């Protein structure tokens, strides 16, 4: 007889072809619920069957830049639109930061970068790598699960270069780049943080002091001369190109096509030599970061100027990667995720609004660097044939930090307690099996380390103003007066006020205090995700 304090829960355990029934004491049931939930989610996945993962990250691509999010977009993005029709579109996805470097750190670690107390972004030969040697990374976790891992494109999380005396440089600027001894290997780049293969750039490919390709742990063709900007395009979107040193093989207008060729070659080689081994491919684009230098084959392809052409090129690259998966018969076995590292750049938005009535931040307030939604709400689309329902949408609040915990759930990896501190498993959202919010709280940070916290419809900004941009000059026309100027923070209800115009700190002080207290808790404890 089974007592009333026991529950009969069938947990599949194969033994001589029979399913055993486990008897679980009621008092232990609550501890087992997370395991049982994961078990239910993974029943469809055959033992040992792990999907390939292709993660495509655009740079400074706004929520309103793509046509599947913005019907009024002046640029059509048919390949991303197709991906959305064949998969899942997230309407409430966020980058962990409003600028490049901290977002990329957070994607690789599942941890908010403000915990490092690091401000700004890397340029030149700045370092060391923000990711500590001992910290588990997303690619390293997947390596442990039997994956081949590769990164092609922009790194931008820092690495250490040395001069001829063997002294670490770890600085930006032209003179720092001149000092580098390019015969010496880098000890803390992508191949030391979980990637089997790396070809790309140290920082922003066209906004830097160092214009050269890195392969593995070295720059095989070093820079030899200062870039000649007179030979580069000149238009409203061509600024923000530093007068750095350039390598003979480095063409600033073709970097994204070089990255694409490397990813396509990797897929071909992997399919030929390791067809039974899963891969994790991180394709990290320059597009659509300023300066807007679309490749020569893409100039004039849209009626929205060079930046519109750049968005078109980004979409073309997605199409080529999807085409390669189809050619190699890998589509059904590959989870594809496309997103952006933050919202659209200030100058991009202003000129696109003025000249083409195209709004990359639509419909949100703010742009890159701002803690308002336009700074961190990003497009995100996922496809996984047979697992993700085609043409589905979700309003679940998710963050790019969640990639690590989600990949752990998909592959059966167990995350240690000192890893992925701000990463949530969004596999239920991917599979359309969520029945409640996955995230109770979501954190946001800016380039200045200004922080915000989200709980459902409520969003509290623990600072005045944008936390990033100053709303003067060309941005002055987009400034919105604070409706509660005498209080230090901001509180918005995104359901009734998605444009973040009505600061409710004075009207809802208890909610503001509760959110601020929760933010302080997450700061002091070092994590926001459940253990």
| Of the residues 382, 415, 444, the one at which a domain ends | 444
Q: Which residues pair with 8 in a beta bridge?
A: 23
- Looking at the structure, do residues 244 and 355 belong to the same domain, yes or no? yes
Q: Which of 318, 319, 312 is nearest to 358 (CA)?
A: 312
Phi, psi (deg, nearest 5) at residue 317 = -65, -40
Q: Where are the alpha helices (DSSP H) in 205-358?
A: 255-273, 305-327, 346-356
State whether 372 and 518 are in the same domain.
no
For the stretch 262-293, what's the b/e string if a residue is b when 16 or more beta carbons lie within 10 angstroms of its beta carbon? bbbebbeebbeeeeeebbbbbbbbbbbbbbbb
- Residue 465 inside a domain? The answer is yes
Q: Tell me which of 378, 409, 444 is where a domain ends.
A: 444
CATH of residue 307's domain is 3.40.720.10
Domain boundary among 406, 424, 444: 444
8 Å CB contact between 59 and 288: yes
Task: Tell whether 96 and 217 lie within a shared domain.
Answer: yes
Contact (Cβ atoms closer than 8 angstroms) between residue 200 and residue 214: yes
Q: How does DSSP classify residue 219?
A: -
Q: 117 and 75 share a domain?
A: yes
Domain count, the chain: 2
Domain assignment of residue 292, yes or no: yes
Query: Residue 45 falls within a domain, yes or no?
Result: no
Q: In a 10 Å sphere around its CB, with 0-12 CB exposed, 13-18 middle and 19+ buried, how is residue 19 labelled?
A: exposed
79 and 118 housed in the same domain: yes
CB 411 within 8 A of CB 403: no
> What whole-number distance in Å separates Cα of residue 60 and Cα of residue 38?
34
Ranges of residues in the chain whose predicted pLDDT is under 70: 1-48
Strand partners, 125: 171
For residue 252, the 8-state DSSP code is: T
Q: Is residue 249 part of a domain?
A: yes
pLDDT at 18 (0 to 100): 35
Three-state SS at 522: helix
The predicted pLDDT at position 521 comes to 98
In a domain, 483, yes or no: yes
Same-domain pairing of 440 and 450: no
Residues 61, 76 within the same domain? yes
Q: How many other CB atoms are there within 10 angstroms of residue 511's CB atom?
A: 16
CA 429/CA 433 separation, integer angstroms: 6
Residues 242 and 300 reside in one and the same domain: yes
Three state DSSP letters for 453-483: EEECCEEEECCCCCCCCCCCHHHHHHCCCCC
Which residues face 353 on adjacent strands?
Answer: none
Domain harbouring 499, CATH code: 3.30.1120.10
pLDDT digits (tens, 9 = 90+) for 456-503: 999 999 999 999 999 999 999 999 999 999 999 999 999 999 999 999
95 and 189 within one domain: yes
What would the two tokens of residue 207 be? 């906004």
Q: Which tokens sit at 278?
A: 């899963």
Specify the pTM.
0.91
Which DSSP helix (H) or strand (E) runs through 152?
Answer: strand 148-154
Confidence (pLDDT) at 531: 86
Please name which of 358, 353, 391, 387 lies closest in space to residue 475, comparing C-alpha atoms: 353
**Residue 488 maps to a domain:** yes
Q: How far apart are CA 199 and CA 252, in angstroms?
A: 16
The answer for residues whose C-beta is within 8 angstroms of residue 409's C-beta and 6 or more apart is: 38, 41, 42, 425, 427
Residue 208's nearest CA partner among 257, 161, 256, 252 is 252
Whether residue 43 lies inside any domain: the answer is no
State how far the Cα of 372 lies from the Cα of 94, in Å rounded to an integer: 11
Same domain, 369 and 336: yes
Same domain, 326 and 287: yes
Q: 3-state SS string over 196-218?
A: CEEEEECCCCCCCCEECCEECCE
Q: Do 78 and 149 reside in the same domain of the chain?
A: yes
Whole domain around residue 480: which residue ranges? 445-525
Decide if 531 is inside a domain.
Answer: no
User: 3-state DSSP call for residue 94?
Assistant: strand
């Amino acid at each position: 007889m089974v007592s009333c304090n026991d529950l009969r829960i069938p947990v599949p355990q194969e033994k001589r072809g029979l399913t055993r029934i486990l008897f679980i004491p009621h008092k232990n049931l609550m501890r087992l619920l997370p395991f049982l939930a994961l078990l239910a989610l993974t029943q469809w996945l055959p033992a040992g069957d792990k999907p390939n993962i292709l993660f495509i990250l655009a740079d400074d691509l706004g929520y309103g830049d793509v046509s599947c999010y913005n019907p009024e977009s002046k640029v059509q993005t048919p390949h991303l639109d197709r991906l959305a029709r064949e998969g899942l579109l997230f309407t409430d996805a966020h980058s962990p930061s409003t600028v490049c470097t901290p977002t990329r750190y957070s994607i690789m670690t599942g941890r908010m970068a403000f915990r490092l107390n690091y401000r700004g972004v890397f340029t030149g030969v700045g370092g060391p790598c923000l990711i500590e040697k001992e910290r588990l990374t997303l690619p390293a976790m997947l390596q442990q699960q039997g994956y081949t891992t590769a990164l092609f494109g922009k790194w931008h999380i820092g690495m250490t270069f040395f001069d001829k005396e063997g002294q670490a440089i770890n600085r930006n600027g032209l003179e720092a780049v001149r000092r580098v001894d390019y015969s010496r290997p880098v000890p803390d780049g992508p191949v030391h943080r979980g990637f089997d293969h790396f070809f790309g750039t140290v920082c922003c490919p066209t906004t830097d002091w160092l214009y050269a390709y890195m392969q593995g742990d070295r720059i095989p063709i070093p820079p030899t001369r200062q870039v000649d900007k007179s030979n580069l395009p000149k238009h409203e979107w061509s600024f923000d190109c530093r007068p750095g040193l350039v390598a003979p093989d480095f063409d600033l207008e073709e970097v994204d096509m070089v990255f694409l060729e490397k990813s396509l070659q990797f897929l071909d080689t992997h399919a030929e030599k390791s067809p039974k081994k899963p891969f994790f491919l991180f394709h990290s684009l320059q597009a659509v970061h300023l300066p807007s230098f679309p490749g020569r084959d893409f100039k004039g392809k849209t009626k929205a100027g060079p930046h519109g052409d750049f968005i078109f090129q980004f979409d073309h690259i997605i199409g080529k990667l999807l085409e390669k998966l189809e050619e190699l018969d890998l589509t059904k076995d590959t989870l594809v995720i496309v997103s952006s590292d933050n919202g659209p750049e200030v100058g991009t938005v202003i000129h696109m609004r003025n000249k083409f009535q195209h709004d990359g931040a639509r419909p949100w307030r703010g742009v890159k660097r701002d803690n308002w939604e336009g700074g961190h709400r990003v497009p995100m689309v996922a496809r996984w044939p047979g697992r993700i329902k085609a043409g589905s949408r979700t309003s679940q609040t998710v963050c790019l930090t969640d990639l690590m915990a989600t990949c752990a759930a998909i592959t059966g990896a167990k995350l240690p307690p000192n890893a992925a501190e701000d990463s949530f498993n969004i596999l239920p959202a991917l599979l359309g099996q969520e029945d409640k919010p996955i995230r109770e709280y979501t954190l946001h940070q800016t380039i200045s380390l200004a922080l915000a916290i989200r709980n459902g419809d409520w969003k509290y900004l623990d600072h005045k103003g944008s936390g990033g941009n100053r709303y003067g000059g060309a941005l002055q026309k987009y400034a919105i007066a604070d409706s509660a100027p005498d209080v230090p923070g901001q509180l918005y209800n995104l359901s009734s006020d998605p444009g973040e115009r009505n600061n409710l700190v004075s009207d809802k002080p208890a909610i503001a205090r509760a959110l601020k207290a929760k933010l302080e808790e997450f700061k002091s404890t070092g994590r926001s995700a459940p253990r």
